[in-house]
Structure 1
Amino acid sequence: MSMSGMNMGSMGNMSMGDGVPNLFYLQKMYWAVVGSAIAAGTVVNLYNRLLAFQRLRDSTLTPSKPKSLFFSVCATLTAIIREASYATLPAWSIRGRTFHFAPLGPISIILANLIVVLVFCFYKLDTMDQWKWEDVGYRTGFVAVAQLPLIFLLAGRQNIIGLLVGMSYERLNWYHRWISRTLWLTVTIHMGFWFRNWGRYDYITYQLKNDPLSKRGFAAWCILTFIVLTSAAPVRRLSYEIFVLQHLVTFVGFIVAVWLHCPAEVKVWVWIPIGLLVFDRAARYAWATYANLSIFHRSTTRPRHALWANQASFTPLPGNVTRISINNPGVRWKPGQHVFLTCHSVVPLQSHPFTISSIPEDNKMEFLVRAEKGGTRRFFHYASKHHHVLGSADSTPAKSARTVFIDGPYGRMRPLRQFDSVVLLAGGMGVTFVAPCLRDIVAGWKAESMSGNASPGRASRLTATKRIRFVWVIKSRAQLSWFEEQLQSVLSDVEECQRANPDLVREVELSIYVTCDEKLESQPQVAQGPCSQPQPESTIVNTRQNTAPIKTSETMDEKRTKKDDVSIHSISKVSSTASTPQDGCLPNGGCCCTTAIEDEDSDRITEHNCCCSGHAATTKPVEPEPEKPTAKTAPVKTKPELPLLSGRPQPRTIIRKVLEKAEGESAVVVCGPQGLSDDVRRSVVYLSDERAVHKGTGAQGIYLHVETFGW
């Protein structure tokens, strides 16, 4: 083996038989296939950018509708591809655990890569011929090492492939993991055929003990196996910090072992990944230097001669959530993007990805961070111990702001302002992604109304969107306080836009569902969660019209926090009447909070007393005392009411109603638990097929963006 291993480089140009391509040629062919796929994605990305530009320049009343044969043909092909790529298999439940599957689109790309790799590994080689086993070993080794650059291209945050195809690095990271598993399979085949060849002479143990090349190759396989196992989702989510640290360490060990195992002729495939890693790190550090050093930015809120540009305040919120606010940050961002946040004074030597929950018009970068474990829990403990009690008149932090460092922003999706109608669905903390998208479109409407660009016939516009449907599913009513003011502001801004331009369609419909279902998985027709015991505090969701601000009570998560010597009180503590076992329960003993709401309009005229989601106290509407108008005082302006419902939303019904009014391509954006995302994905596929989108019926296309959170 030693001699054959030393001659591995020369094997690249040697013929293995009539018509059998040499090893270097197969490596080039693999990258010809990969390059073609990236080029196709780049063309699609450029077309989408052209489409967005064309829609915002369209002066007609239906800018998001195809108006030429070319765009109609493209829309038809897009609709057909979307239906196939968005489809997903139903989730499997095994022993209380639910397993979800990726959509068919990404799966088909991974399977295509796997097929290409296996074809190149065995093309014109007889695996049954024992004299060809050594050739298979060489072939698979060359194909395996050629995959390394692709894996590293998909792993970087400053991602070249993502820039070309218009995808964010976290989406490409899914491909990174699965192509790494394909690499592991290729390397295992490579090692297996060498073992098979040595096994004929009982030579495996001798080779591993005495041949340095075999030792290094086996070490590389062991390290790669460890990386693949520890990258599995259940292991990866145990501790994000530990995963990142061990991933970097094992990566270095793997690259060193591969470099020592490969001959000089193929070491270029190892140097390319190293160069990509250096580029990613250099680009990130250069951008981080610009974003965090104060010499590049001016600020009136930062102390003079301060070295660092970003100072953050920490505020505790109901539900063990921390609001982190950075005034006048050093970077700009778009709705739906995220940054990696570091605060060494609170959580040293850790960096966590957080979605930006504000929009640039706020002039501050805000994050809502749920305290899970590790660094996020330390953020909440710090905010709780160094902040005034919630509900007090003084809401300013009791301690000065802390220096933070940001890496980003990251994240890409198609701009939502180009679509005729937009459906936004969020579950729990997923609202941090969806709410900025809502506010950004409304901000565009408001800017158009103020500048006069909203008039028909203008050469350009800020947004082509006419209708927005916003749905937020929360487990308890206390969570509403996270975005209550922002959502009320949205409704007020839309009313102003409608008064300023009554001839233009500007519609926003909001629904907030309160449910005791945490994961939003598919439920049976009859809810199985009985209300067997009285609850000390019940959530009564009043959907009738009132003008009183919604108040929240202490959450169960906050009660558990007291065990850690952290006392957090809600904005308003009010007494509640203990619910009886019948409150909020269906006649058969089920829970009304998990009941699917088929018709929101009919449900809004009733009250639901839900004892299952009793994390917030019952609040009675308190009408403000009318203030007598005088010559110096204006009448009090009440805030719009946010419509609340108790139960589970039906995404298919919600999306269908929006599509029936759409006069152009629509967008559906969802961020939340996997159960909600799968339900929305299946609903979009079903409705696209039901309405025969762009197949002669006149129905318009549906763009779907599913944002996942968590590692």
Structure 2
Amino acid sequence: MDMSMGGSGTASDSGTSGPLSPDGVNFSDPDQASAFLSALLHDDELKVIGNAYARYFWYGIAVVVAIAAIFHWARILTLQMRLRAAARREEAPARPKGIMAKFFATVTAIAREVTYFDITPYRLPSKLRWFRIPPAGTMALLLSYLTFVLALEFTNNSVPGAQFWQARGVRAGWLAVAQMPLIILLVGRNNLFTLTTGVSFQSKAWTTYGLMKLEWSTDTCPPTGIAAFAFLLWMNLSTLAPFRFWSYEFFVWQHLITFFGFIVAVMFHLPSTALWSRIYIYIPIALYIVDRLLRWAWLAFSNKRRCRATMTKLNGDATKIVLRDTALKRWRPGSWVHLSLPGLGGFGWAQTHPATILSTPTSHGGDLVFILKGHKGFTKRIMESANDSTEALLPPTDPERAQTRAQTKVYRAVLNGPYGGHHQDFAAFDSVCLIAGSTGITFTLAVLQDLAERAANGGRKLPLRRVRFVWCVKEHDRAKWISNELTAAVAKLEQADIDVAIMIRATCDESLTEQNAEPMVCGCACDKSQGPCCCAAPPDEEDGDEKAGTEKPVSSSAEARSTAVVVAEKDPSLAASTRPILSSQNEVRLKRSWLPCADFCSGRPMLREILIELLEDADGESAVGVCGPVSMGAEVRRHVVRLSDERAIHKGTGAQGCYLHVESFS
């Protein structure tokens, strides 16, 4: 590198070329120190190389996106072919046929076994239930991304001499700023990925001779870089679960403000000698503005009508919200919206909360239905402002509705969405199992209603043959939240000759809790190492049949039928179920008059047995949908992976594949 230094004792004479070296430089001489620093920061060639590697980064991203798109559209084509095959009444439409289809199914099964596995602990203390270890697929993706960025950073980047670390710093800066458009693109699609690149900073021994002070006093790069890094570090730390749970609304607002601060700091950090590097900032700014404009346009369209929200309290500190007269007419099952209720007072006009749509476009006459659990902040105010009577949920045309119209509280609602619902089409599978915990029922019930409506009203036969629906709640009575929806969905599925089984599992129902001090064996899957579980225990044989509504373990079909008759005669609202599906033979299964299509059991579900029954009887690919606590999703992931490995899916045994979609809340 050519370098001209003033004064004597320079690293090299004027006109000579070679690696920059501090040898012979008198750093006590301000002129020599300044000249050496100028030569050290001379990075014209380094900027060209860094810009090239920034382009290589985007070449790699384009290749990965292209490969993912090919597999995605191939999968969509496969599902569409299944639906068409079912419409033509072909046998086993969900089973792959042909060499290419079987090869694709084998590759998919292997990829699922690798990526589905989750090592998040099943049971954690209540204060640590937010803790989660990403699934193996997410970990592999992040590690691959990090490896790719590090390879771009260190490949052919060993500049000899004093500019060794300068070269690495310049290229790291280019790679860092090149990722900005990618982050904005991901945010614009509502995919919250945190992509963090860490490049260690090391200093050379000669920085102790006063160059550090000179650099900070003459160059804006260090302080602005540290400011940008501080913003970036805080954004990543504040996305951790404990901070989000502390105050979700505050988290959203501070995250947006911090991001804008990060953009400003990066703009100041980029050197004026490389203005073309700011293109990687202008592009994400433009993308963000376009995304905001599109969202505002859609927000205006979605709220062009005055949307009215009726809220009703439910048992279990939950609130059912019904939105009528909305402009939204189409959304996918499992979609969610940002819901705002300006009439709640306080900062209600500026607060939004994500809520999954329980209804489908045709299930409730076009109304949007939500169920929110009251915690604190926005959801707590919703619960406190809700109507006490369930008559508020009746449609406006209902005669009973007119009698209570004056007493019903109605709020103005603002919607932003819908978003999500990008899972695969559950109707294209042979067998489907939907598992929910608490208010995760909003996702699985939306999928169930969609399957029922398409099976009954679609005019085309579906590949779907069996549906298993499991809901875990603390008390059985909470099933009244959705009793009408479940009853209607089951009737439609049975009308279409689809085998359907509904199981409601109560994990802590006081009406069924064993009061004895010693834990009882009741067929549940509870961990009794901590003490008695909140599950139903078999009654004493002496007076078990003397009480109306007695719950008895069902060990055989004949005994079940006999028990059902006796119990039903004494209490029509409670009867033992004769169907062992989704439960073990030795546990109590009950029937409720207000939801006769479902079996009621106590204790946590035996997920492995449920999945075994689903997969062994499948005549094609199965699908499992889960929405609930993090631990539930992790447990299902592990069972699916282990069963896939044990059964050697698509590896010559004839066992069919299993698709898994997990959505979790905290």
Q: TM-score range by the shorter chain?
A: 0.7 to 0.9
How much does 1:390 deviate?
11
Sort the Cα spacing of 1:204 and 1:476 in 2 relative to 1 into closer, same or farther, 3 A. farther
**Counterpart for residue 413 of structure 2:** 404
- Aligned equivalents of 1:402, 1:487: Cα separation in 2: 27
How much does 1:601 deviate?
4.7
- Aligned equivalents of 1:654, 1:447: Cα separation in 2: 29
**Counterpart for residue 585 of structure 2:** 602
* SS class of match (1:121): helix
- Aligned equivalents of 1:146, 1:248: Cα separation in 2: 20
Question: Are residues 1:265 and 2:265 paired?
Answer: no
Sort the Cα spacing of 1:621 and 1:681 in 2 relative to 1 into closer, same or farther, 3 A. closer
How much does 1:212 deviate?
2.4
* SS class of match (1:339): strand
Q: Which runs of 5+ in 1 are unaligned?
A: 14-21, 160-168, 295-307, 454-460, 499-505, 533-538, 552-596, 608-619, 623-637
Amino acid in the other structure paired with 2:91: L
* SS class of match (1:679): helix
- Aligned equivalents of 2:433, 2:128: Cα separation in 1: 30
Match of 1:274 among 285, 297, 309: 285
**Counterpart for residue 295 of structure 2:** 284
- Aligned equivalents of 1:10, 1:325: Cα separation in 2: 63
> Does the aligned pair in 1 maintain the 2:159–2:167 contact within 8 Å?
no
Sort the Cα spacing of 1:682 and 1:550 in 2 relative to 1 into closer, same or farther, 3 A. farther
Deviations 1:559-609 (A, max 9, x none): xxxxxxxxxxxxxxxxxxxxxxxxxxxxxxxxxxxxxx99825245567xx
Match of 1:242 among 236, 243, 250: 250
* SS class of match (1:237): helix
Amino acid in the other structure paired with 2:662: V
How much does 1:92 deviate?
8.3
- Aligned equivalents of 1:541, 1:327: Cα separation in 2: 42
* SS class of match (1:137): helix
Question: Are residues 1:375 and 2:378 paired?
Answer: yes
How much does 1:400 deviate?
4.9
Question: Are residues 1:435 and 2:432 paired?
Answer: no
Amino acid in the other structure paired with 2:71: V
TM-score scaled by length of structure 2: 0.78
**Counterpart for residue 358 of structure 2:** 357
- Aligned equivalents of 1:7, 1:541: Cα separation in 2: 83
* SS class of match (1:465): coil
How much does 1:312 deviate?
1.3
Question: Are residues 1:64 and 2:64 paired?
Answer: no
Matching of residues 3-22 of structure 1 within 5 Å: 3=38, 8=43, 11-13=46-48, 22=49
Match of 2:141 among 94, 103, 109: 109
**Counterpart for residue 320 of structure 1:** 317
Match of 2:114 among 73, 78, 84: 84
Amino acid in the other structure paired with 1:338: W
* SS class of match (1:154): helix
The structure with the larger Rg is 2
Question: Are residues 1:132 and 2:154 paired?
Answer: no
What do you get for the CA RMSD once the two structures are aligned? 3.2
Amino acid in the other structure paired with 1:121: E
**Counterpart for residue 530 of structure 2:** 528
Sort the Cα spacing of 1:153 and 1:7 in 2 relative to 1 into closer, same or farther, 3 A. farther
* SS class of match (2:662): strand
How much does 1:128 deviate?
9.9
How much does 1:48 deviate?
1.6
Q: Which runs of 5+ in 2 are unaligned?
A: 1-33, 395-399, 511-523, 535-548, 554-562, 575-579
- Aligned equivalents of 1:204, 1:260: Cα separation in 2: 20
Amino acid in the other structure paired with 1:468: V
- Aligned equivalents of 1:273, 1:549: Cα separation in 2: 64
- Stretch moving more, 507-516 or 94-103: 94-103
> Does the aligned pair in 1 maintain the 2:648–2:655 contact within 8 Å?
yes
**Counterpart for residue 490 of structure 1:** 489
Question: Are residues 1:679 and 2:650 paired?
Answer: no
Amino acid in the other structure paired with 1:108: A
- Aligned equivalents of 1:433, 1:138: Cα separation in 2: 47
Sort the Cα spacing of 1:11 and 1:354 in 2 relative to 1 into closer, same or farther, 3 A. same
> Does the aligned pair in 1 maintain the 2:494–2:500 contact within 8 Å?
no
**Counterpart for residue 25 of structure 2:** none
Identical counterparts, % of pairs: 33
Question: Are residues 1:329 and 2:326 paired?
Answer: yes
**Counterpart for residue 5 of structure 2:** none
Deviations 1:540-560 (A, max 9, x none): 978864497869xxxxxxxxx
How much does 1:10 deviate?
5.4
- Aligned equivalents of 2:550, 2:412: Cα separation in 1: 41
Give the total of aligned pairs: 564
Amino acid in the other structure paired with 1:399: T
Match of 2:339 among 338, 341, 349: 341
Amino acid in the other structure paired with 2:75: N
Sort the Cα spacing of 1:4 and 1:366 in 2 relative to 1 into closer, same or farther, 3 A. farther
**Counterpart for residue 513 of structure 1:** 505
Sort the Cα spacing of 1:364 and 1:598 in 2 relative to 1 into closer, same or farther, 3 A. closer
How much does 1:211 deviate?
2.7
> Does the aligned pair in 2 maintain the 1:541–1:646 contact within 8 Å?
no
Amino acid in the other structure paired with 1:97: L
How much does 1:24 deviate?
1.5
How much does 1:707 deviate?
0.8
Deviations 1:387-415 (A, max 9, x none): 87999x87956235222111111111111
* SS class of match (2:467): strand
